[in-house]
Structure 1
Amino acid sequence: MPRLLVAFLTCVASAVLATGAAFGIVAALNVTPEQQNVPLVTFPDPPANGPSSAPSPSAS
Structure 2
Amino acid sequence: MSRLLAAILTCVAAAVLATGTAFGIVAALEATPEQQNVPLVTFPDPPAQGPSTAPGSDAG
**Pairwise TM-score range, normalised by the shorter structure:** 0.7 to 0.9
Q: Name segments (4+ residues, structure 1) moved above 6 Å.
A: none
TM-score scaled by structure 1?
Answer: 0.75
Q: TM-score, normalised by structure 2?
A: 0.75
| 1:2-55 residue CA offsets vs partner (Å, 9 max, x unmatched) | 11111101100111001100110111011111211111111111223x2488x6
Q: Which residue of 2 aligns with 1:42?
A: 42
Alignment match, 2:11: 11
The whole-number CA distance in structure 1 between the counterparts of 2:25 and 2:44 is 42
Percent same amino acid at aligned positions?
Answer: 75
* Paired position in structure 1 for 2:32: 32
**Any unmatched runs of 5+ in structure 1?**
none
> Over aligned residue pairs, what C-alpha RMSD do you find?
2.1
**Paired positions, count:** 56
